[in-house]
Amino acid sequence: MKKNLILLVIIILISGKQFFAQSTGLNLTLAIPSGEFKEKVDNLGFGLSGHINFLSPKPISPFGIGLNLGYIIYGSESRTEPLSYTIPDVYVNVDRTNNLLNFHLLFTVGVPKGRIRPYIEGLFGGSYIYTTTSVISQGTGEEFASSTNFDDWAWSYGAGGGFAILLSGDPNTDQNTIYLDLKGRYLFGSEAEYLKQGSVRIENGRVQYDISKSKTDLITVHAGVLIYFNWATQE
């Protein structure tokens, strides 16, 4: 499941041009819980985010609009267990991850020319928060069983800003140019129920969940690449 979600974010970058995007980007993401969420989850999260801008800032208009998808792991646990009570001499890895998949409409206002382009962003959408447990073979490293332990949904909105710094290409035409993309965002998340590290307990062969509930605010820091496609031909 986790690999599929990461692949989905990467597809945003690869397929951006197929969807008539004017620009697309892929970023590594560091997530810092904030407010009530920080009181429940005191560890950093990490993941990937990708976006497609169907309209990018240009000299005729500094406004842009697109879609943003992000995947964050905000906690994980691993242990080794016998495959079963009847096969105690074969061991498997049991991995549990606490995940957050968010999807936002993305609005951008930015400087449309130059080698360094500051911009600000607004976002509106939501986050799917869920915890999964996977059983992985020690011999092959392949996952052969998994289950979603708990999930919930939270609405979210926020704002951010950053800089796009030219790496290659002509900034005067922006035909297939590549920029280093550095930015930060603050996302206000509505109240949700979720699991965190240590929330799943096994007692007498039964699973017990210690469910947390709070708002789900996040500070995210991003570093990646931004690619423009044939911008001069789309004016």
Q: What are the tens digits of pLDDT across the range 158-181?
A: 999 999 999 998 888 777 899 999
Mean pLDDT to the nearest integer, 131-153: 86
Predicted pLDDT of residue 5? 55
What's the Cα-to-Cα distance from 83 to each of 40, 98, 141, 186, rounded to whole Å?
A: 33, 23, 14, 43
Write b or e for each residue in 16-43: b if 16 or more Cβ atoms lie within 10 A of its Cβ, otherwise e: bbeeebbbbbbbebbbbbbebbeebbee
Predicted pLDDT of residue 104? 96
Mean pLDDT to the nearest integer, 194-210: 86
pLDDT of 226 > 90? The answer is: yes
pLDDT of 72 > 70? The answer is: yes
Q: 217 and 158 in contact (C-beta within 8 Å)?
A: no
Mean pLDDT to the nearest integer, 64-85: 88
pLDDT of 234 > 50? The answer is: no
Q: How far is it, in rounded angstroms, from Cα 225 to Cα 142? A: 31
- For the chain, the average pLDDT equals 86
Predicted pLDDT of residue 7? 56
Predicted pLDDT of residue 11? 56
Mean pLDDT to the nearest integer, 62-76: 92
Q: 3-state class of 13 per DSSP? A: helix
Predicted pLDDT of residue 3? 53
Is domain 2-73+99-131+143-234 classified as CATH 3.40.50.620? no
pLDDT band at 207 (very low <50, low <70, confident <90, very high): confident
Mean pLDDT to the nearest integer, 88-110: 91
One-letter amino acid identity for 117?
R
